[in-house]
Amino acid sequence: SEGDTAALDEIEAIMRPGSNINPNPRADIQRPSMAQDIRKGRRTEIEFMNGYIADRGAYIGVPAPTHARLTEIVKKVERREVKAAPALLGG
């Protein structure tokens, strides 16, 4: 959108919550790849994303507890120790 205010306006309209401009007609059936992995019982890339951030943070002395906790939860789901549920993220 650099230098193109119309393009910037279009992108901002799409990204704003509640925007009805150019809605994705497949949004109700699409899932992120990690959600697909969990649903199909496959290992996810959680260790390479959030786990990496938590590890690097610990290495340099900057805690990243949210990344560490999310990694822990997803790995438990992968091992089928718990069932995937939004409630796992609450506190």
Q: Which pLDDT value is given to residue 23? A: 64
Q: Does this model's pTM top 0.75?
A: no
Q: If you write DSSP's letter for every residue of 16-36 in order, what string do you get?
A: STT--SS--TTTTT---HHHH
Domains and CATH numbers, the chain: 1-30 (no CATH), 33-91 (1.10.1040.10)
Cα gap 16→80, rounded to integer Å: 36
The more confident residue out of 44 and 3 is 44
> Could you report the per-residue pLDDT of 47-81, keeping only the tens digit for each?
999 999 999 999 999 999 999 999 999 999 999 99
pLDDT in tens, 7-43: 887 777 777 656 555 566 666 677 788 888 888 888 9
